[in-house]
Structure 1
Amino acid sequence: MSDATYDRNQDLYLPSGSTADDRHALAIDPELAGWTHSGLRIVALEPGGVHILTAGDSEWIVLPLEGGCTVQVGGDTLRLLGRESVFASVTDFAYVPRDARAEISSDAGGRFALAGAKCERRLPARYGPASEVPVEQRGSGNCARQVRNFASADAFDCDKLIAVEVITPGGNWSSYPPHKHDEDRPGEESRLEEIYYFEIAASPLTDGTPGIDGTRAPTARPGFGYQRVSPSREGGADVLAEVRSGDAVLVPDGWHGPSIAQPGHDMYYLNVMAGPGATREWRICFHPDHTASTEGYR
């Protein structure tokens, strides 16, 4: 492996806080990622806090991770009920078009993902109800997981942006079999840049502090997971990362998967995808070395 390839692969794993700035807990734009379309920002608001989103040449989805908010864009006021946490339920969301200015405010505070993609068409601002989010139970056995297709290509209209959430139960594998989408092959595969953003559920741990009744008090134990990206071509992306809450992995190319959740700790990830193709579609190719023995796990 060349030094240039090694340095590039080091940059594909982004630990929590490594891209933070004074307005975002995480800020990934196409320039930072070294590609052309996909972006993701995480915003944390204190009670009564306000964040201004200037859309520029990108379309955006405001997705509550924790708490609710109001999104004012143009003459539209979109009120998002949100959710207690990413593990609690699906959530409603708001679509912000390119060339718009949006004000995101939260009376009670919360954390919000801004999933974006550079685009060409300017679509109208819209509210996405939680009740209309298609929820898919994918895979079986220890590869079972829940996919929330809130902005998949066939569920919600965007110009370029594709985004879904995945919940992987503790001890399970997801993004399996490994798959890729780094070539334009009409009807078979579409070229998409992808961001994985992770949160890992904590689990109670009995520590050594006696309570009033003499029992030991539970504390929260943070968890972790693993993300693999393997090369689909010479010099391609090659990552094996231990991921924790707030971490992200960039997938410019290559076979991605599995995503592995530590036993006892459910794993959440938000996938943000976009690419240069004329048609917005999610077409993938499974790794030929894994597909024969994994029917039913996809």
Structure 2
Amino acid sequence: MDHRDTGPDRHLRAGTAAAGPYTLDIDPGRAGWGYSALRVLELAPGASHLLEAGDSEWIVLPLAGGCSVHTEGTTMELLGRENVFAGVTDFAYVPRDARALIASGAGGRFALAGARCERRLPARRGPVSEVPVEDRGSGTCARRVHNFAAAGTFDCDRLIAVEVLTPGGNWSSYPPHKHDEHRPGEEAELEEIYYFEIDGEHGFGYQRISPSRPGGTDLLAEVRSGDAVLVPDGWHGPSIAAPGHGMYYLNVMAGPGPEREWRICFHPDHTEGYR
């Protein structure tokens, strides 16, 4: 099979999508779609950054370190975590049309997950104690999911975001699935970003997207820490972690549907015998 990337810049290698203060900056215009966005912000000790929300809602998610988020007249202190493999973290929600000052005394790295939206919801903190943790799959397909902003767990207008931790040698995002059509009750149309971090200096993984329609996205990418993959359409999965190197990915999703929901369709050729 000819594994080729037929879309523009579907695999963004670490550092290639940097802009201004961001080591990664994916907006809907760059992605070629309408809603999903992701930025990764690195702050030196004592530094701060002003986030202009514009027409999007945002979640400030610590990847390494803690910070404070001051917006809408309130300050949310985020304790954060040592790194993405150290467990769940608290986070802050910033509404559209707001300005938020993000400051970190000790410095750190922070994901800003965003989605263009219509409703303006209140700014608020998502505490660690309210983050649902799900163990999904079994055997070599076992992985752990942090459903911090999944549909039904935290109120957003359009944004859906979760974290997935895959042990070294395991497959996740499996069976391959898609969400590129609006089919009420069966499938929701969602644009998706995968952002990766790999445990270990020389670790890597693989991400597969196969076409769900003629001329659709076709990608097999070797991913390393700081890489991102854009999924505008297609069957995506598996996400494969190299033996000895745990894989983390942050999924950011949003779409045009009338409801904020995560409805997916599994690839019919890969579900038989799946555990």
TM-score range, shorter chain: over 0.9
Q: Deviations over 1:91-116 (max 9, x none)?
A: 00000000000000000000000000
What secondary structure is seen at the aligned counterpart in 1 of 2:180? coil
1:265 matched to 2:263? The reply is no
Match of 2:39 among 30, 38, 41: 41
What secondary structure is seen at the aligned counterpart in 2 of 1:176? coil
Per the normalisation by structure 1, the TM-score is 0.90
Q: Match for residue 230 of structure 1?
A: 210
Q: Match for residue 127 of structure 2?
A: 129
1:68 matched to 2:66? The reply is yes
Distance, in Å, in 2 between the alignment partners of 1:240 and 1:9 is 12
In the alignment, structure 2 segments of 5+ residues that lack a partner are none
Q: Shift of residue 43 of structure 1?
A: 0.2
1:168 matched to 2:148? The reply is no
**Matched residue type, 2:126:** G
Aligned length, in residue pairs: 272
What secondary structure is seen at the aligned counterpart in 1 of 2:7? helix
Match of 1:119 among 117, 124, 129: 117
Distance, in Å, in 1 between the alignment partners of 2:98 and 2:116 is 13
What secondary structure is seen at the aligned counterpart in 2 of 1:87? helix
Q: Match for residue 269 of structure 2?
A: 289
Identity of aligned residues (%): 73
Match of 1:105 among 103, 106, 109: 103
Runs of 4+ in 1 over 2 A off after TM superposition: 6-10
Q: Match for residue 194 of structure 1?
A: 192
1:55 matched to 2:57? The reply is no
Q: Shift of residue 9 of structure 1?
A: 2.5
> Any conservation in 1 of the 2:72–2:99 contact (CA below 8 Å)?
yes
Q: Shift of residue 8 of structure 1?
A: 4.4
**Matched residue type, 1:259:** S
In the alignment, structure 1 segments of 5+ residues that lack a partner are 1-5, 203-220
What secondary structure is seen at the aligned counterpart in 2 of 1:78? strand
Spell out the pairing of 1:9-48 with structure 2 (5 A cutoff). Answer: 9=7, 11-48=9-46
**Matched residue type, 2:256:** P
What secondary structure is seen at the aligned counterpart in 2 of 1:234? coil
What secondary structure is seen at the aligned counterpart in 1 of 2:85? coil
Distance, in Å, in 1 between the alignment partners of 2:104 and 2:10 is 32
1:240 matched to 2:238? The reply is no
Q: Match for residue 152 of structure 2?
A: 154
Distance, in Å, in 1 between the alignment partners of 2:273 and 2:9 is 33
Distance, in Å, in 2 between the alignment partners of 1:102 and 1:225 is 34
Per the normalisation by structure 2, the TM-score is 0.98
Over the residues paired in the alignment, what is the CA RMSD in angstroms? 0.9
Q: Match for residue 175 of structure 2?
A: 177
Distance, in Å, in 1 between the alignment partners of 2:269 and 2:48 is 49
Q: Deviations over 1:219-271 (max 9, x none)?
A: xx420000000000000011100000000000000000000000000000000
